[in-house]
Amino acid sequence: MNEFLDPTTWALALLLFSTLVLVVLTILYRRRGTGPDVREIAAFQDLRDQLGRAAERGKPLHIALGNGTLGGSDTVSSLAGLQVLEGLIDAAVAYDVAPIITVGDPTLLPLAQDVMRRAYERNQIPESYDSSQVRFLGPSALAYAAGAVPVGAPEDVTANVAVGTFGSEVSLVADISDQHGRPKAAAVDAAEAIGALYPTTDRLAVGEELYAAGAQVTDEKKYTTSLIAEDILRFILVLAIVGTAVVALVGG
C-alpha cells in the first residue's frame, strides 16, 4: 500500500500516461492530415500583426528574453522564449526587420544568435546576419530590466515583447513602453512578474500559458499536439483532486 502511494510511483505513472496520450494524439492527427486546434492566448494573438506593422514602418520589434539561465530551474521558461523568437524570426528576416533581442544571461546569448543566424541562412542571405542584433545586457535581474529598452534597444522599435524569466523588475520594461506609447506583450511565469504586469497590459500570458508559446507562434505540430496532451492531463488531474476531496469528505 505504501508503494502505491509513493510519490515517485505516481510521477512515473503520470509520465508514462502522458507519453501514451501524446503518442495517440500524434497518430490520430497524422491520420486526419490536419493539426489540432489550440485555444488562443491573447498575449500571442497579435504578435504576427505587430510584425506586419514593423515591416510597414521599417522598424523592428524588441524581444526581451529575460534573465533565465539554461541548465537551471528556469530552463523551460527560457526555452519558451526562444520558441517565440523562432516562430517570428523567419518572417521578420524576410521583411528585413529582424528583431532586436536582449538577454540577461550569457547562456541565452549563443542560442538566440544561432536562431537568428539560421533564419538568415534559410532565407539565403547569410551575409546580412548581424550578431549585434542579439545583446547581453547584464547578469543581474535589475540591471537587465533597467537597460533592456533604453540601453539594449535604443532604436525606435514598434513594440516590446517580454517572454521568459522575469521578476517584479519587468515593470521597468512596461513603464518605458508606456512612456513612448509602444504596444507591449508579455508571457511570464513568476508571481512577481505577473503582479507587476497585470495592471499594465491585457496582452499577458501567465503561468503555464508561457509554455504554450511554441504552439501559438509556430506551425510545428509537435508543439500543438503537446499542448493538447497537457490540457487533457490537466483535466484528468483536476478530476482526480476533486474526486479525492469528495471521497475524503464523504468518508470523514
Dump pLDDT digits (tens) for 94-133: 888 888 999 998 899 999 999 999 999 998 999 999 998 9
User: What is the band of 1 on the pLDDT scale with cuts at 50, 70, 90?
Assistant: very low
3-class SS letters over 162-216: EEEECCHHHHHHHHHHHHHCCCEEEEECCHHHHHHHCCCCCCEEEHHHHHHHHHH
Of 5-9, 106-110, 154-158, 192-196, where does mean pLDDT reach its minimum? 5-9
What is the pTM for the complete model shown? 0.76
* Residue 56 dihedral angles phi and psi, to the nearest 5°: -65, -40
Q: Which residues pair with 165 in a beta bridge?
A: 66
- Where is 10: in which H helix or E strand? helix 7-32
Mean pLDDT for 53-65 is 87
Q: What is the pLDDT of residue 225?
A: 66
The confidence score (pLDDT) of residue 72 equals 77
Query: What pLDDT shows up at residue 215?
Result: 73
- Whole-angstrom distance, CA of residue 172 vs CA of residue 187: 15
What residues pair up with 185 in beta bridges, in sequence order? 161
Q: Which domains does the chain have, with CATH numbers?
A: 41-219 (3.40.50)
Q: What is the mean pLDDT of the chain?
A: 79
